[in-house]
Each structure stands twice: as C-alpha cells, then as structure tokens.
Structure 1
C-alpha cells in the first residue's frame, strides 16, 4: 500500500504528485496538484514527442486526451473503485532521457509503465522498469529488437520478469514482404539498407536470411550509421547489381537523404518496389520528398480501416481518425491506433489484475492478457517467445491523394490479418 507523504500531518489530504496535463491536445508538464492517495492507479507513459522521432509522438497528446476522458470517472476492479492518472513524458527521442524519465516516474510510484515507438524510447524504459520491478508494456518496434536487443538468448529462459511487448516482428515483415512483392514481376534482387541500430541489426539477422531462403538475392552494402549524409557507395552498388527492390529500416532524415541522392544518381528509375519501414509511416515522411514520394510502399501496424473497436474509448478506427482530422485539420496517422491500442491493453490488464495497486498482480495479469484492442488481438499466452505477443504488419502504399490531402495511405495486402480489407492494387514505383 502506498503511504501518503502528508499522512503524519493530515491523513485525509491527498498525496502530491507530479503530473502532466493535456489542454487542447498540448502537453503542459511540471504541474503539481493534489490527487487521491491509496485509491488512485498511476500509469506512466513515455513517448517521443520532440526530436528526430517526433512524428511517432505527434498524435499522442490527442490520444491521451481521449483516454483521460474515458477514465474521468475511474475504473472498478474487483468491486472496488479507483481513480486513474496517466502521467506522460516526452523522451525527446533521446535514449538517456527516456531512461531518466522512467526512473523519475518509478520514484513517483507508478503502478504500470507504458512506452511506445522505436527501441530508442522503449528499450531504456523497459530496462529501468525491469530493474525496479515495475509492470511494463510497450508496442511499435520489432519484437526481436526488444527481446534479443535487451539480452535474451534464443532457446533460453526469458530473463524478463516484469516487462512485456506486443506487435510485429521479422516473421510478420517476412510474410508481408513476400506477399507484397509477389504482386509485381521483379528479378527478386533486393538492395537492403539496414542501419547499425537495434532495429537494423535485428532485421539483418532474422529477415535477410529468410528472404534469401525464399529465393531473393539480398544485396547488402553493410550497416550504415544513423545520421549518414552520403549514400553514394550504396547507390552505386545497387545500380551495379541491378536491384529491382529496395528495403530499408531508417529514421526519416536518413531515408530522405538516401532517396533524394538516389534520384540525383538515377537509381530511382531502376526500382520497381521501394519498401520502407520505421520511416514512411506518416504523411509528413513522404510529403517532404515531393514528387519522389507517391508509390513508395510501406507497412501499417495500424490503419483506420482495421475492423476493431477500442475497449477503453469505444471508438472505431474510422471514428478515431475522423476525430483527429476534424479537431486538427491534419491527416490521420497510424500512430493514433497504435497508441490507443497500448492504452487499451494496459487498462485491460489493470482491470484483470486481482489488485491493480499490486505490482505482482498487474504483472501476472499482463502475462495472461488476451484482449482485442483497436489494433487487433494482444495475446501474451501464445508467444512467439515469453513476454511477447505478436501482431500484424499490413502491406500498404502511398498514392496521390483523391481528397483534401496530398497523399492517401492504402492497403495492398493483408496476409498477417485477413480481417483487414485490401482496397488497392500495388503500383510499380518506376512507372509514370
């Protein structure tokens, strides 16, 4: 049980906590206010709202507002009513800051820690939570980069007792890419651009061998460092080898530099499919490329046409996307549903815990969680490895917009979740 700092002086006063307020979707941090003591569940939430990964966190304030509204009257667990606070923080896309923020939230006595988007945010928060014995859940990064990237070994018992992750992995990427690439006739030569980071190293180790086994010739110039400004050697290799497909997992600035240089050096006229992940997820990533953007292939861990409803807010994907566009005037992004799915899963775990203020009970509830979120099923009882629940990644493509926005994001295949409707044919990149 939590003990109020003010208890010796006024037993009925509320405990003082640091909390982040959301006003009109804008984060206002550092406010101190009174909150309920032992009957309050505290959820920590860390994401990249600023910095080079800011496109992942752009919609988080809006989604957090929806979640706070849904939780305004608290929740009842085991016949007892609790108030719920979500204390959110911006990692600024800095792993060291993400770790420090996690430790600060742990010191504020959070009952559940959530983190989202890329290893640079998730892994340091997961490590801090594991060390402190805080129940933790995350999504939006390949699970291999989360599981093996944090020290787990294939075939060995999981070293993690408190931390859990759900979502896509190299297996889902493999299925999606094989399905997507089969839609266009190519020479099956794939030029890969995998960076020297947790994502890139995990994908190189797991995905590339499977592509080769499936009959694709993988042309790999080697890992490049994040922030590289000159990709001439990679471009020259891809031209020389005659690749028809390019697959990359870069951060947005690196891909923009690579693809602009590819156009300057004529590689783009050779490419039939340019398939990117980690970038190319949001309209802003593609719009900055101008005429080079349309027909870039992507992959969706969430799309507004996913046929699922949020158990927390009651919103469908279409409703969530429409609300965002109406309130902001900006195009919906797949992060809307991803962030809400994490909040869906987290709050469902709290509801299923015997005691939502018991770390052990919440941890045990996560380990047995099997729930349908706005992003689809989250099932920690079926693997693929301990502490991980697999999730879909759906073949998609950016095409010229037919409505108020410059681009439309369309579904071209659905092998990892057949419930998601396919709406468009994959277009070849190097055709006019």
Structure 2
C-alpha cells in the first residue's frame, strides 16, 4: 500500500471533545436500537404482544428512520448543524422516554416510530459535522472512534438490558438511555460550536428543489448505491445471528452474551486501528482487504458445525475485523462525495437509503432462511452467506468507482475567495 498522505494533522482539544460527543451520541442511538432485541421475550409476555406484532415494533424504527431521512434532506443544509442535531436529539429523547412509558402494543409501536423518525437522522447530521470540521486525512481516525458506538452498544446493550430489566422491569433500560442522552445533549448545547459555513453556499431557495438536486446528482447516486449495498450484508446476517448460534452451533443463551461481549471488545480495539490505517493508506485498498477477509469468514461462519465457544468467539472477532475494515474506509470516502453546500442533504438521503435497504435485506433474509420448528436448526443459512458474499463483490466495484471519483475531485484546483474561511477550505478535499 502507498501512503495517501505523508503527514496527518493532530487534533485540537476542541476536535477531541467533538469526537467524544459524536461517539457518545452514536452510542445512545445505537444502544436504543439494539436494546429492543434482548427485551423481546419480556415485552411479548408483559404487553401480550405476538411475535408478528413484535416484528412490526422492530421494523417500525428502521422504516420511520428511512422516511425521516428523506423528509429532512431538503432542510438539512438550511440550518446550523448544531441546532439541527439538538432538535433531532431532543425528539429522540422524547421517543425513547415514550418507549419506557408504553403500556401496550400500539403505544410501543407509536413510540418506536417516533424514536426512529428522530434517531434515524442523527447519524447523517453527525457525518456532515465530521466532514465540515475534519479534513479527509483525519476522517478515518474520527470514523474509527465514532463507529465505536456500535461496538460499545454490542458489549453493553444486551447485558445492561437484561440486568436492569431483571431488577426493575423492561422500562428501566429505556429510562437509563434517556438520562444518559439528557447529559450528552446538555454538553452539546453548552460546548459545541455552531457550524454554519455551509449556509453561505446555499443556492436552492426551495427545500424540495434542494432535495431534488441531491437526488439527481450523478456522483451522489453512485454514493447512495454503494452505501445501500454496503448495509445489505449486515442486515441480512444480523436478524438470525442469535438463532443460528443457538440452534445450529449449539451455543447456550448464557454463552451468547460472551460471544457478543468479546466480539464487541475486539471491535473496540480494531476500529481505531483501522481508522488510523485509513488515514495513512489508500482507503479503497483497505476496503478491498476488509472485503476479502469478511467474505472468507462469512463463508466459514455460515457452514460451521457445533464447535467450542472459544472458536466461535475467535471466528466472530476476525469476521468483525473484516466488516469494520469495509465500513470505516468506505464511510470516509463517501463523506468526500458531496460539496459543502449539499452535505446535509446527501448524508440524510444516504442514511435514509441505508435504513430502507437494511429493512428490505432483513425481509429478503427471512425468505431465504427457514426453520422447521422453534427448536430446530436454521436451514439455508449457508445460501444466505453466499448471497451476502455476492453483495460484497458488487459493492467492491461500486466503492472502487467512488474512490476514483473522490481522487479526481481532490486533484482539481480550488480557488478560494478572500472572504472564505476555514470551513470553505474543506472544499479542497
């Protein structure tokens, strides 16, 4: 691999604070999403919810998040990014509090829908902030830390949900997220600086026209397609991961917590390392290496016979290393596609399509995988692995095209006017 940059800029103290805040925001949003899964049995019994109804409760978040991304895209570049972040984070807190107060299927369904409407846009706003504040040779490291929210949620989400729900009931995990989110939101309000450089570059008077320009931009469409396909693999594997481990690999419910815990711990170690490599070396090369590792491990994982717990943990950790080796460099590349004036709209649409593609992928996985009875092994899980590998191969080509486009954009000279500030300097990338 050839280094992209000879040097990488160190972070300022404010940038370090901003990275920490964005990582904590990501942690609460992902934890809110993940905490529902281990509460499934308790919720169905406590609220008299059927399995089909619980499926609607889970999917309502993804589809409402996707819808909100599209609705917010036209307005995403019309406001100070800090204010926009606080608005949606406040809505997310209200939605999560409503989940804690729900007392039947319909109120829980409505609460999850509200939470998705607001929570689904937070990731897109965070990415827009990262792109505005950090140069491209810093973003890999930033993404490596921010994406740790996923790993931390994996480590803490299931154990915390079960622990607190066993002591105080299923409402407790949602209340815990609310308290944590209020603290984080307060720090954002007091410490985060306004981010308004993009406002000086707006040309679209209509929000709908701004959205239309974001959707019809050819370079944007390539990024949308790459991101949507990138999410397919994870959403296909995730819904049946626990059932596969328990029914096919013969891992017990108690051992399942160890698999999630150690896989998450491995991700926390791996992601900052991948972030640093992404800033130092060619991002597509790193993505390609991660894709090969992920594809090999997915084929192995989906053909496993019953094996000892430690082998399952090692295989999962290596597989996650490949998956993170794809997500971090591809995300850093994707953030370089839009110009500053269109970043909010691009990120919102991108997040929306990611959620919708994930929902469709989960439904498709349900059509591929079957189970003869509640305690029988899953069938056709190996076929699911091959489908995911095919998606990885296609995505590899799309990300290569994105990489070429980003490099061509970076090579173009940019003339800055005397009044343009540090914010416009990022347009060079």
Q: TM-score range by the shorter chain?
A: under 0.3
Which gives a bigger RCO, structure 1 or 2 (Cα 8 Å, sep 6+)? 2
Higher share in helix: 2
TM-score with structure 2 setting the length = 0.26
